[in-house]
Amino acid sequence: MARKFFQIGFNKCGTTFIAKLFEMNGYPTVHWAEGALAEDIAYSKLAGSTPLQPWPDTVAFTDMESVRYLNMPIIEAFKEFRFLDESHPGSVFLLNTRRVEDWVVSRYMHRGGSYARATAQIRGVAVGDLADLWAAEWDAHLADCRAYFAGRAEFVEIDIDHAAPGDYRDALAPWFDLKDCPPRPGAGVKSRREGYLAPLSRMLEAPPAGTGIAPADRDRISAAIAAAARPATVVPAGYPAGSNHQAVVDLDRNEVRDSRGEVLPLRRSPDRVFYAKPGIAQLLRIATTANDIAQAADRGVYRIDMQPGHAGGQGGAVLAACRRKGAANAFLWPMPWIHRLGNDGYLGRPDRVDPPFGQKLDRTVWRGDLSGHVLDGDGQPRRPVHQAVSDLLAGNPDAAADLRAATRVALVLDHLGSPDVDAALTPDARGQRALERAGLSHLTAPRKGDDFLLSHRYLICLGATSGAEEFLPLANSHSVVLLEEDGWDIFARAIFQPWQHYIPLRPGAGDLADRLAWARANPEACRQISARARALCAVLADPEARRIQLAAILRDYRAATGQPA
């Protein structure tokens, strides 16, 4: 078996350069793999198995870290060099370093600051505290590596600030033939680094979430969220096997089972965090939900269903991502891929441009994907749009009529060329092909970010799964939201009331023109609606409020299922 190579310095220290060095010289290399490398190492250690088995022929492993925008543990698997050394004897280890102050800044600005915000949330600290924590961990890791590998020829240390490309080749020459070297980062990278100061200052100066919230308001709104999460009724019933989004989180036995009772490949660490075996499509949503539950309760058995279209009303009590209004048995729970604190997609990117209401464009805007439902003549859902898309791509031309009847497509068609409504579809590649076959490709527009949307006074939010993703970031702005009331309940959204926190649209948004006319005639009322919505969003961003809300929902669930309070 070929000798392996492990890069064991921190991220943001030239890891991509090191990966390219091996790749361009013909060595099988895996870099980061969207966190899968780190997750495999962590799970393998807990399970007592050999790490990195999914990559048997790979020689070089770089950037072995995982920071998810979910409630999953931060995994810095490059720190597991002892485990890797024991599991793969004879391997070569490279400790890549740089000036620590520059590294801290680079980490802060990674992915536009979202990396630091997600890290701070997972660790339960303020963003501004990360600098000292990271610097201390840097010193500890370097000292640990140097002590463990003292006197070992297979340990190489390189300072990327001073090393030329050829220095890597020469240092690794005893084990690897690296004749070709990639160039060092050019002027463009250095220029971007020089622009870090202003956004970094804004990030560090931003007050922590929850600042200024009165305890009485926190308790009142949290109680309202917990009450809205309770189903109208709980009807005892069996649990038929359903989607692979279903599971049973058993804190009493420290395990998670699927709907058939089989234990899922999740391992709970000594610090009581669930780690997931990587590479299983639906396991991540289940794992992050299990961690949400485990941080809000220390006992109990909880059935979950994180299927995006869970309607409720079937089986027994369940923690669900959504439900139809009035449905039995479904206790609303945060969607793990949307409602995660520290995730920019939850309440919007903190540093986005959001002018005051009066300085925005006096028109309404909508951008969205090709989802939702085809409505019948009474405005009720008849079939999901994705079915019409599949039929059209399978060669059924009759599905084009259904596509035109979809709420999102109909909205764009109805207001095509309007000076008052700027609406366009931003489909994925599959949706784009379906629109082309239906002769509707002219309804699309390039994707634009929040800064474009928030330059408008009036923001349309339509239903469907992606509506859940869009509403809170739009509501947490100085614009006013026109929300299609489509009959779905989603965590926290029920506390937002029509005419108090948003302007309601009936299913299908056929009353958009009337609602827009009202909004234009009542600018002060719109400002107040927007302000009330932002006040609710401030509580939704508060970690202490979230703990109160989830603990209350789990108490209600235990009571409904006959478990001790």
- pLDDT tens readout for residues 464-492: 654 557 899 999 999 999 999 988 899 98
The residue among 523, 522, 480 whose CA lies nearest residue 501 is 480
pLDDT for 384 equals 86
Q: pTM for the complete prediction?
A: 0.92
pLDDT in tens, 335-355: 988 899 988 989 999 889 999
What angle (nearest 5°) sits at the alpha carbon of residue 193, between those of residues 188 and 199? 125
Mean pLDDT of all residues in 512-536:
98
The DSSP symbol for 434 reads: H
Where do we find the tokens 């366009």?
424
pLDDT for 90 equals 97
- What tokens does 79 get? 């720190």
Mean pLDDT of all residues in 362-386:
85
Cross-strand pairs, 504: 483
pLDDT for 239 equals 67
Overall residue count recorded for the chain in this entry: 565
pLDDT in tens, 273-293: 999 999 887 899 999 999 999
pLDDT for 241 equals 59
In whole angstroms, what is the distance from residue 242 CA to residue 139 CA? 49
What residue ranges define each of the domains in the chain, with the CATH number in brackets? Answer: 5-205 (3.40.50.300), 215-341+545-560 (no CATH), 344-540 (3.40.50)
In whole angstroms, what is the distance from residue 540 CA to residue 210 CA? 9
Cross-strand pairs, 66: 75
Instruction: Give the pLDDT band of residue 373 (cuts 50, 70, 90).
Output: confident
Handedness of CA 59, 64, 70, 74 (dihedral sign): positive
pLDDT for 487 equals 86
Mean pLDDT of all residues in 177-202:
80
**Distances in whole angstroms, Cα of residue 210 to Cα of each of 272, 536, 540, 543:** 26, 11, 9, 7
The residue among 42, 48, 97 whose CA lies nearest residue 64 is 42
Reduced 3-state DSSP string for 524-564:
HHHHHHHHHHHHHHHHHCCHHHHHHHHHHHHHHHHHHCCCC
Q: Is 336 exposed, middle or buried (0-12, 13-18, 19+ CB in 10 A)?
A: buried
- Is a pLDDT exceeding 90 seen at residue 19? yes
Among left, alpha and beta (phi > 0; psi -120 to 50; other), residue 124 is left
Mean pLDDT of all residues in 528-536:
98
In whole angstroms, what is the distance from residue 349 CA to residue 360 CA? 18
Among left, alpha and beta (phi > 0; psi -120 to 50; other), residue 284 is alpha
The residue among 475, 468, 485, 493 whose CA lies nearest residue 336 is 468
Residue partners of 202: CB distance under 8 A and separation at least 6: 351
Rg of the Cα trace of the chain?
A: 26
pLDDT for 189 equals 65
pLDDT for 558 equals 98
pLDDT for 266 equals 97
Percent helix, percent strand, percent coil in the chain, to nearest 5:
40, 15, 40
- Is a pLDDT exceeding 60 seen at residue 318? yes
Q: In this prediction, what percent of the chain has a pLDDT beyond 70?
A: 96
- What tokens does 475 get? 């509501």
pLDDT for 383 equals 87
Q: How far is CA 519 from the centre of its chain?
A: 33
The DSSP symbol for 354 reads: -
Q: In this prediction, what percent of the chain has a pLDDT beyond 90?
A: 79
Where do we find the tokens 């190489």?
156
pLDDT for 377 equals 75
pLDDT for 320 equals 94
Among left, alpha and beta (phi > 0; psi -120 to 50; other), residue 193 is alpha
Where do we find the tokens 């035109």?
404
In whole angstroms, what is the distance from residue 302 CA to residue 247 CA? 8
Mean pLDDT of all residues in 244-262:
93
Reduced 3-state DSSP string for 244-284:
CCEEEEECCCCEEECCCCCECCEEECCCCCEEECCCCCCHH
In whole angstroms, what is the distance from residue 156 CA to residue 81 CA? 13
In whole angstroms, what is the distance from residue 454 CA to residue 470 CA? 12
